[in-house]
Amino acid sequence: MATQTAQGEAEIVNPLVDLIGYQLRRSSSALMGDLARSLEPYDLRPSEASVLVLIDANPRITQSEIGRILAIKRANMAPLSAALEQRGLIERAPVDGRSQGLTLTAKGSELLKDVRALIVANERRFLGKLDHSERAKLIALLQECWTEA
Amino acid sequence: MATQTAQGEAEIVNPLVDLIGYQLRRSSSALMGDLARSLEPYDLRPSEASVLVLIDANPRITQSEIGRILAIKRANMAPLSAALEQRGLIERAPVDGRSQGLTLTAKGSELLKDVRALIVANERRFLGKLDHSERAKLIALLQECWTEA
DNA sequence: TATTGTTATACTCTATAACTATA
DNA sequence: TATAGTTATAGAGTATAACAATA
């Protein structure tokens, strides 16, 4: 791979490109950075967007359940959902004495429509070339990396 | 996918699993977390390990070049290489008046042997099931996500 | 006893701005 | 003017410890 220049200067070699860990880190970073920039006008972080998607699919889900599914610690879920509630995107309703179910407000549902479109656009931007079966295989391959390894 | 429980409680659904961005984030996080734990006894972060690998392959490489290749800002490379130098893992030699070439010390090379073994073990732990062609395809697929998209 | 939600805290990675010294 | 290295600073994400209230 390392070609020579006219001056004989050594071309820089990056052995990391052969590592899947490195490729995962770089591609994840590229996708998340792109999504973060898309969400910026809405003052929403990717993690907040993922929480909204999960609440929409599971009305009255609790913070602890969200944390377990998305691998976000309870301690970090607290300020995250407090911010979403303060902005009027979600509301809390007591499930029992200690837990509260989270549900999207009308404002939250409205925002989520735009967010979904941004997410779809983000996916297309990076994986538009892949056909359906390639995409499915990639998803299955990646999922093996973090589920019950 | 959503099955019913005996009590009729709604099973929690995670629509994010169909997104490649989500799968990339979770698998990258799982791999990097595992690698970070492996490197912990050496008091080395994954980013520091990647810099050592790059310096080893390119003696007298400058901080700016490393930053451009690994997508680490110059401002963040400064304390990173200062720490590696202070620990006696790399040394600096002036290239011209403003830049310095970085090279591994004997101690750095010795450490890198262990680090390489940990990296290989980390890759195997998550992707041992994949054969060579599957692995190559995955790498190529991921690389498309972040190189000159 | 275990779980939910919370606060406080710290570390890593990332990002921008501003400065100097040199090309 | 542009680049290399540095410092200061800030924002996200992630981690642990500890606490009160509740199951």
User: Nearest-CA distance from A88 to chain B in Å?
Assistant: 23
- What is the structure's pLDDT at A9? 63
Query: Which tens digits make up the pLDDT trace of A74-129?
Result: 999 999 999 999 999 999 999 999 999 999 999 999 999 999 999 999 999 998 88
**Long-range pairs for B36-44: beta carbons < 8 A, 24 or more residues apart:** B38/B118, B38/B121, B38/B122, B39/B115, B39/B118, B42/B111, B42/B114, B42/B115, B44/B111, B44/B115
Looking at residues A126-148, what average pLDDT do you find? 87
Asked, for residue A107, whether it belongs to a domain, the answer is: yes
- What pLDDT shows up at residue B108? 98
Burial of B54 (0-12, 13-18, 19+ CB in 10 A): buried
B149 pLDDT exceeds 60? no
Residue A92 placed within a domain: yes
Q: Is residue A28 part of a domain?
A: no
Whether B126 is covered by a domain: the verdict is: yes
DSSP secondary structure string for all residues of A62-114 = -HHHHHHHHT--HHHHHHHHHHHHHTTSEEEEESSSS-EEEEE-HHHHHHHHH
pLDDT in tens, B114-145: 999 999 999 999 888 788 888 998 998 899 88
Could you tell me if residue B10 is inside a domain? Answer: no
A12-38 pLDDT tens trace = 999 999 999 999 999 999 999 999 999
Q: Which residues of A touch B61 (CB under 8 A)?
A: 12
Question: Looking at the domain assignment, is residue A148 inside a domain?
Answer: no
Q: What does the alpha-carbon distance between residue B72 and residue B31 come to, in Å, rounded to a whole number?
A: 19
Question: Is A61 among the domain residues?
Answer: yes
Mean pLDDT value of segment A58-87 = 98
Give a yes or no: residue B96 inside a domain.
Answer: yes
Task: Give me the CATH number covering residue B109.
Answer: 1.10.10.10
Total domain count, chain B:
1
Convert the pLDDT of each residue in B48-70 to its tens digit.
999 999 999 999 999 999 999 99
Footprint of strand C on the protein (CB under 7 A): A 29, 33, 62-65, 74-75, 77-79, 81-82, 95, 98-100; B 45-48, 71-73, 75-76, 96-98
pLDDT tens column, B10-47:
789 999 999 999 999 999 999 999 999 999 999 999 99
Q: What is the pLDDT of residue B147?
A: 85
User: What is the domain extent for residue A83?
Assistant: 35-143
- DSSP per position, B26-60: HHHHHHHHHHHHHHGGGT--HHHHHHHHHHHHSTT
